Amino acid sequence: MLPAWCDDLTGYRKLLMDAWSDQTIHESFKSAPGDNATASRGQCGVSSAWLVEVLEEAHPALEISYCYGDLIAIDQAGVALERHCWVEVGQRHDPARLVIDLTGDQWELLKDQPVLCLPHDQVKRVLRVDYRVKQARMSPLQLKYDLVQPRLAILKAALQAER
């Protein structure tokens, strides 16, 4: 059974969608004109960083990590969403730690999962996807010094303006 706060994630995704822009997208994921990329493409880092702050403020006892790595299709060798960001809640080696991804739908394999919140072992077993931290796993404090911060400030300003 998932924690009650997981019920808020769909609403968070809707808020974020209205605030995403060319200024919040990661530079290397900007689409060419006419490209049919999903709205969430390139927004994973800034969205995950925002979610870390929200969760930390609302639930300070949680062990929260900002994760940066690859998504691997277990049944299809070599198929991956590279350089992706998501949030994990729980101890890093606990198979029951929660994987929270508000932008996984940018990958064809997760297109029906715009909001994902499941234990890591269940993601692997049911969805046949492995979230592998390769580049970084950061605490909320470490995240405050990450390169995502300027885009996060733009996102937060856009969210504030929408109120």
107-123 as b/e: b if 16+ CB within 10 A: bebbeebbbbbbbbeeb
Give the model's pLDDT for residue 99. Answer: 98
Give the model's pLDDT for residue 42. Answer: 80
Taking residues 108-120, what's their average pLDDT?
A: 93
pLDDT greater than 90 at residue 106: no
SS3 assignment, position 89? strand
- Predicted model pTM: 0.91
Query: What would the two tokens of residue 115 be?
Result: 């909001």
pLDDT digits (tens, 9 = 90+) for 51-69: 999 999 999 999 999 999 9
pLDDT band at 37 (very low <50, low <70, confident <90, very high): low
Q: How many CA atoms lie within 13 A of 52 on its CB side?
A: 28
